[in-house]
Chains A and B, each alone.
Chain A
């Protein structure tokens, strides 16, 4: 209101000094492609929410296990199958974190657990702290996913890049190989691989990578094929750039958007397949556990001890949704043309 009441007097104004060329001056700093993309991403609330959730879960999975005094495989049968109990929140009944199981028995009292012992996510049938296991499992799931995505990225970019850049007979030969590999269902390859190699973090990652890089290589190839005949590449070539310089300075940076988006979608895919393998008994072997293995174990006693499955399942759902939201947001921000 005060704005409209203020008197406007002529002495408040001063003529602008219009020198030569002043009108041509660009006042706003020009944004680079990445600044612009980041600005667009920041506007997308869903994607930012996903990004925060991912960062939060990653940070938490790293620090959370040290908040408990128990390790990943500290067994104690005396305190098996305890329901969750969180100090502070235990008074609020409907949250279900008061140490009372579904039959209404306070398991902590019944099993004579020392009062200072409170298991935030409860304990599993061997008396291991579920809190530690869930966050360690998150770590392992994320580790497998990021490792698989990184290897996919390196192999895919190299293969697709070489295939497109050298073209001709090289491209033909390399694409024939891809055509055959694409025809083989990855479900089949992954299962066969795990049966041959013993299930472990590395073999699961390998199995995921063995077919996973193809998608990346196809996208990179398509991008580089369309880029390499553009004028700016030709100009650089005429100025005497080496192939290495062309690739690292011109072709790859322009493909980076598509690469990032594809990688963001590779990660939830890898998390899903790892969990899927755990579910059919080919995943990480005990005592280590991934999110998928924990969920699979938890489902076995879902009726009596729902807390064993609910927490890892929720974290997994949040992770998957967040990566999908972030991926969608990145795609919109980096490549408006790819919008779907």
Chain B
């Protein structure tokens, strides 16, 4: 197990290094310079600016410097505001983004679990079909389309919830709900399949024949065992949440990382684009790593099977 983790952590750093290298050279390939109005600058001013940001060095030197700073967690300066670092921008956006993401994950998983369990217990009934139709809709409809429609009908037409911005708990409901739709659908579908499989196993029959009540069997044996594989979809789900948050934060004007990222794309603020890209990559890679390791710890069968292949 320890060898496996070391190997994975090593691979993670290799992947990050590759991503950092790709981002760096792609940004170097871009035409133009980071400074606005550069025709108006005199030769010496331009030289001084380039010197300040280290742009006079040859590209390999810049690359080494960049990696050196990156190793210390320094993502550089933004072009949008004077003297602000990318780190501080990410740190500022972290709060709202993490809050919405976490709320969506929590709410989505809970509702998804309930829907999936209900669908499996009432297999081939109205509840089952209803839940599965909802799941197909939830998987198919992009979260931003859903968010836009929700904002229009609930926020504007009915006026029940604030349309946008981030000023209090009632502002969390719509964004978190729109983000969670995909999670609900994925979890519900997964849970239903797992539950149906486990309900048909011999050990459930065994537990029932020993006289354990139906509720106890379902809660202690079925649900618990069905929940183990859910961990495998946590990785893709987290990626989905991050992707969704980019647009959801824009639709609801939440001052998070996603909103900042989209803004800097439109403003060609390259250090922020690079920094946020790396941050997202880091986040996703770490999540996938943690999920894989957790899975190995929780379910020994996987570890054995995984060791062979």
Within the complex, the shortest CB–CB distance from B247 to chain A, in Å, comes to: 5
Binding site for A on B (CB under 8 A): 11-12, 14-15, 18-19, 22-23, 26, 29-30, 136-137, 139-142, 144-145, 148-149, 151-152, 156, 189-190, 193, 239, 242-243, 246-247, 250-251, 262, 265-266, 273, 277, 280-281, 284-285, 288
Of the candidates A302, A303, A324, the one whose C-beta lies within 8 Å of that of B140 is A324
B136 touches A324 (CB 8 A): yes
B16 (CB) vs chain A CBs: closest residue: A183
B136 touches A188 (CB 8 A): no
B156 touches A272 (CB 8 A): no
Q: Evaluate whether A317 and B145 lie within 8 angstroms (CB atoms) in the complex, with A187-B242, A196-B29, A324-B139 already known.
A: yes
Within the complex, the shortest CB–CB distance from A314 to chain B, in Å, comes to: 9
In the assembled complex, A325 has its CB within 8 A of some CB on chain B: yes
A-B contact pairs, 26 of them (CB 8 A): A180-B14, A184-B15, A188-B277, A188-B280, A191-B265, A195-B30, A195-B273, A196-B26, A275-B145, A276-B144, A276-B243, A279-B144, A279-B247, A280-B247, A280-B262, A281-B265, A295-B145, A299-B148, A302-B148, A302-B152, A303-B152, A306-B152, A309-B148, A313-B148, A321-B136, A328-B136
Hey, which chain B residues are within 8 Å of A299, CB to CB? Answer: 148, 251
A187 (CB) vs chain B CBs: closest residue: B243
In the assembled complex, A212 has its CB within 8 A of some CB on chain B: no
Tell me what chain A mostly uses at the interface: helix, strand, loop, or mixed.
Answer: helix
Hey, which chain A residues are within 8 Å of B151, CB to CB? Answer: 302
A184 touches B18 (CB 8 A): yes
A321 (CB) vs chain B CBs: closest residue: B140
Hey, which chain A residues are within 8 Å of B15, CB to CB? Answer: 180, 183-184
Binding site for B on A (CB under 8 A): 179-180, 183-185, 187-188, 191-192, 195-196, 268, 272, 275-276, 279-282, 295, 299, 302-303, 306, 309, 313, 316-317, 320-321, 323-325, 328, 340
The distance in angstroms between the C-alpha atoms of A313 and B149, with both chains bound, is 9
Q: Evaluate whether A184 and B142 lie within 8 angstroms (CB atoms) in the complex, with A192-B22, A276-B243 already known.
A: no
Of the candidates B26, B190, B277, B285, the one whose C-beta lies within 8 Å of that of A183 is B285
Closest 5 CB pairs of A and B: A183-B15, A320-B140, A321-B140, A185-B284, A324-B140
The distance in angstroms between the C-alpha atoms of A321 and B146, with both chains bound, is 13
B281 touches A184 (CB 8 A): yes
Q: Evaluate whether A317 and B280 lie within 8 angstroms (CB atoms) in the complex, with A180-B14, A184-B15 already known.
A: no
The distance in angstroms between the C-alpha atoms of A295 and B234, with both chains bound, is 29
B26 touches A192 (CB 8 A): yes
The distance in angstroms between the C-alpha atoms of A321 and B145, with both chains bound, is 13
B12 (CB) vs chain A CBs: closest residue: A183
A295 (CB) vs chain B CBs: closest residue: B145
A339 (CB) vs chain B CBs: closest residue: B193
Of the candidates A187, A280, A316, the one whose C-beta lies within 8 Å of that of B145 is A316
Within the complex, the shortest CB–CB distance from B282 to chain A, in Å, comes to: 10
The distance in angstroms between the C-alpha atoms of A321 and B239, with both chains bound, is 21
The distance in angstroms between the C-alpha atoms of A302 and B139, with both chains bound, is 24
Within the complex, the shortest CB–CB distance from A267 to chain B, in Å, comes to: 12
Within the complex, the shortest CB–CB distance from A265 to chain B, in Å, comes to: 10
Q: Evaluate whether A320 and B142 lie within 8 angstroms (CB atoms) in the complex, with A183-B15, A188-B19, A280-B250 already known.
A: yes
A323 (CB) vs chain B CBs: closest residue: B140
Of the candidates B18, B141, B142, B239, the one whose C-beta lies within 8 Å of that of A185 is B239
Hey, which chain A residues are within 8 Å of B243, CB to CB? Answer: 187, 276
The distance in angstroms between the C-alpha atoms of A44 and B277, with both chains bound, is 43
A317 touches B141 (CB 8 A): yes
Hey, which chain A residues are within 8 Å of B148, CB to CB? Answer: 295, 299, 302, 309, 313
A312 (CB) vs chain B CBs: closest residue: B145
Of the candidates A295, A302, A321, the one whose C-beta lies within 8 Å of that of B137 is A321
Hey, which chain A residues are within 8 Å of B19, CB to CB? Answer: 184, 188
B247 (CB) vs chain A CBs: closest residue: A279
B14 (CB) vs chain A CBs: closest residue: A180
The distance in angstroms between the C-alpha atoms of A272 and B11, with both chains bound, is 30
Hey, which chain A residues are within 8 Å of B190, CB to CB? Answer: 340
Within the complex, the shortest CB–CB distance from A319 to chain B, in Å, comes to: 9
The distance in angstroms between the C-alpha atoms of A276 and B15, with both chains bound, is 25
A185 touches B156 (CB 8 A): no
